[in-house]
């Protein structure tokens, strides 16, 4: 029975589209709440984009970031659902988990979970994605609003 159900699902599924891999760079500004400067973080990373159905694509990216003004840095895992409205424009929902630490002192790491909207402009294999996320501390109290801009290139 399980084999029959699996066969029906596979036969009924739309034709598979290619999974994309790529690199991304960007920058974000952490605005602590109540409003205060929390750091400017440029980042670089890699992503995989998996088409799901129709115009919906899920993306997972892993980046490394560093704030020169705060001397903090770490890893960022972002999951994005992108719905492409036209060949040039899409809307996004981002969920991010951030690891942030002062210098190389891993024992002082802090973790934050956030989510928010964004948009994506598609220009061939390039994308430009402004976003704004709201973060809360998982290992420390506090919250922040984080606007940013991501530039990516698919291969």
Task: Supply the CATH number for residue 69's domain.
Answer: 2.40.160.20
The confidence band for 1, taking pLDDT boundaries of 50, 70 and 90, is low
Asked whether residue 58 is assigned to any structural domain, the reply reads: yes
Asked whether residue 33 is assigned to any structural domain, the reply reads: yes
Asked whether residue 11 is assigned to any structural domain, the reply reads: no
Q: Tell me, what's the pLDDT at 96?
A: 98
The predicted model scores a pTM of 0.86
Whether residue 98 contacts residue 116, with contact meaning beta carbons closer than 8 Å, is answered with no
Q: Calculate mean pLDDT across residues 22-51.
A: 97
Burial class (CB in 10 A: 0-12, 13-18, 19+), 21: exposed
Helix H or strand E segment including 84? strand 72-84
Tell which wins on pLDDT, 90 or 7.
90
| Tens digit of each residue's pLDDT (9 = 90 or more) over 49-97 | 999 999 999 999 999 999 999 999 999 999 999 999 999 999 999 999 9
Asked whether residue 3 is assigned to any structural domain, the reply reads: no
Is residue 13's pLDDT more than 80? no
Asked whether residue 9 is assigned to any structural domain, the reply reads: no
Q: Tell me, what's the pLDDT at 6?
A: 46
Kindly give, in sequence order, each residue whose CB lies less than 8 Å from that of residue 145, ignoring residues fewer than 6 positions away.
31, 33, 132, 133, 134, 135
Whether residue 139 contacts residue 111, with contact meaning beta carbons closer than 8 Å, is answered with yes
Q: Tell me, what's the pLDDT at 155?
A: 93
Asked whether residue 1 is assigned to any structural domain, the reply reads: no
Asked whether residue 7 is assigned to any structural domain, the reply reads: no
**Overall number of domains in the chain:** 1
Residue 97 belongs to domain spanning: 17-154
Q: Please tell me the least confidently modeled range out of 10-19, 30-39, 134-143.
A: 10-19
Is residue 31's pLDDT more than 80? yes
Asked whether residue 102 is assigned to any structural domain, the reply reads: yes
């Amino acid at each position: 029975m399980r084999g029959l159900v699996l066969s029906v699902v596979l036969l009924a599924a739309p034709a598979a589209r290619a999974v994309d891999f790529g690199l991304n760079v960007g920058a974000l500004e952490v605005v602590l709440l109540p409003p205060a400067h929390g750091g400017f973080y440029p980042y670089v990373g890699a992503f995989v984009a998996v088409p799901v159905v129709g115009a919906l694509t899920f993306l997972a990216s892993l980046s490394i970031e560093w704030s020169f003004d705060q001397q903090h840095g770490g890893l960022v895992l972002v999951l994005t659902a992108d719905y492409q409205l036209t060949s040039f424009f899409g809307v996004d929902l981002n969920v991010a988990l951030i690891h942030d630490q002062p210098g190389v002192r891993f024992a002082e790491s802090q973790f934050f979970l956030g989510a928010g909207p964004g948009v994506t402009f598609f220009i061939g294999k390039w994308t430009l994605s402004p976003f704004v996320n709201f973060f809360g501390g998982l290992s420390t109290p506090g919250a922040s609003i984080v606007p940013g801009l991501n530039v990516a290139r698919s291969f």
